[in-house]
Amino acid sequence: MTRRGLTRYDAFSARPIWSRSRSSGKLSYSDFVFLIRPSSEVAASVCPGGYQLPGTCTKGSGAMLDDDSEDRPSLMPPERPLTITAAILWFIAATVGAMLLILVTHSVRPSSETDIVNAVACQAVAYFAAILLAVRVHAGNRTLPDVFALRKTHPAFHLLGALLGVCLQVPAELLQRLMFHFQPMAPEVLQLQTEMMRMDSTVARIMIPLAVVGLGPLVEELFFRGVLFGGMRRGNGAAISAFIVSVLFAGAHGSSQLFIPLLIVGGVITFLRAASGSLWPCLIAHMTFNAIPVLGMASGWLRLEVDPEPFPLILSVGGVSASVLIIAALVALSRRSEAAHRARQEDSS
């Protein structure tokens, strides 16, 4: 027995989500809220006659409601589509929130202006707040793994994601140098970035990698290619959703010189998200991409310079070619993998 609007059916198994959750042992957010409500409130909403014990609630002619009954109130708001406009507004709210937090911490602790860990922490707080609010408004009764696309796909996507994170360094560096040729970076900005990445203490050598390689990619992937891409994908095509996410991702870093390089990098990682149907390969690619410069600066073989040495030709050709080959492999794998096909179906359902 069900009430109108209480049961949402899975597109593949044609079984109620609640029924599947009970059989698999996984609870959605609304299930958790239901479980922690006071028994009197549950009894009043589920059993009009006042019966509280499972299996003893009577209705009408005395028919028994079984403990596994789906006749339960919906405690979450209905699922609302995440439009492109809504995605942009959530991005603006998260970015403005991060900027305000950074300004507050700078006023309280002036030395934090050169503290990249502080900047990443402020971004994480603002983005996590936006994520929670967006999930509350748009997700309805979807489980969190479904909202963030934390689902299985073909294992090869994870390896290709790691390789992509390494190889994308080359085209990103070439594009960055091209942008700096037309719009040079001010020496004081370069000095500020150098100070922010300075790892001359044990604490810095631990905290900077944790922030730049761990926390930063995690919160950005959950927000951009988790909530925003997944939400828009259910009402729009993969191409337009990927384009919007890539533009927002590049704009979030607040640098006109880096916008084009980050647009390309973000676009490729978002393509990985669309092809695999899962966030895990994107997270691996993003963390790997950030890990290379952090490792280089920690070891001393990478330095930020206004006029860097020419990039080796063989490395340029090899890096760009490898990136193109990996993208081609992603296309081929996405077409042949049943696991990726199922994951993409869940994206659009």
How would residue 48 be classed by pLDDT, with cut points 50, 70 and 90? Answer: very low
More confident position, 16 or 295: 295
> Do residues 328 and 155 touch, judged by C-beta distance below 8 A?
no
Angle at CA 240, nearest 5°, toward 260 and 143? 110
Q: Which two tokens stand for residue 319?
A: 């890096």
User: Residue 57: is its pLDDT beyond 80?
Assistant: no
Tens of pLDDT, residue by residue over 258-267, are 999 999 999 9
Q: What is the pLDDT of residue 43?
A: 42
How would residue 306 be classed by pLDDT, with cut points 50, 70 and 90? Answer: low
User: Residue 64: is its pLDDT beyond 80?
Assistant: no
Return d(Cα 20, Cα 293) in angstroms, integer.
Answer: 44
Average pLDDT score over residue span 227-242? 95
Mean residue pLDDT across the chain? 82
Q: What is the pLDDT of residue 31?
A: 47
Highest mean pLDDT (candidates 6-10, 53-57, 116-120, 250-254): 116-120
More confident position, 88 or 13: 88
User: Residue 120: is its pLDDT beyond 60?
Assistant: yes
Average pLDDT score over residue span 297-322? 84
Average pLDDT score over residue span 9-29? 41
Find all residues with CB under 8 Å of 299, minimum gap 6, and list them.
none
Q: What is the pLDDT of residue 18?
A: 38
Q: What is the pLDDT of residue 214?
A: 97
- 3-state secondary structure string, the chain? CCCCCCCCECCCCCCEHHHHHHHHCCCCHHHHHHHHCCHHHHHHHHCCCCCCCCCCCEECCCEECCCCCCCCCCCCCCCCCCCHHHHHHHHHHHHHHHHHHHHHHHHHCHHHHHCHHHHHHHHHHHHHHHHHHHHHHHCCCCCHHHHHCCCCCCCHHHHHHHHHHHHCHHHHHHHHHHHHHHCCCCHHHHHHHHHHCCCCCHHHHHHHHHHHHHHHHHHHHHHHHHHHHHHHHCCCCHHHHHHHHHHHHHHCCCCCCCHHHHHHHHHHHHHHHHHHCCCHHHHHHHHHHHHHHHHHHHHCCCCCCCCCCCCCHHHHHHHHHHHHHHHHHHHHHHHHCHHHHHHHHHHHC
Tens of pLDDT, residue by residue over 161-194, are 999 999 999 999 999 999 988 888 888 888 888 8
How would residue 144 be classed by pLDDT, with cut points 50, 70 and 90? Answer: very high
Domain ranges in the chain are 1-76, 84-348
Return d(Cα 122, Cα 125) in angstroms, integer.
Answer: 5
Average pLDDT score over residue span 189-212? 90
Q: What is the pLDDT of residue 186?
A: 81
User: Residue 286: is its pLDDT beyond 50?
Assistant: yes
User: Residue 47: is its pLDDT beyond 80?
Assistant: no
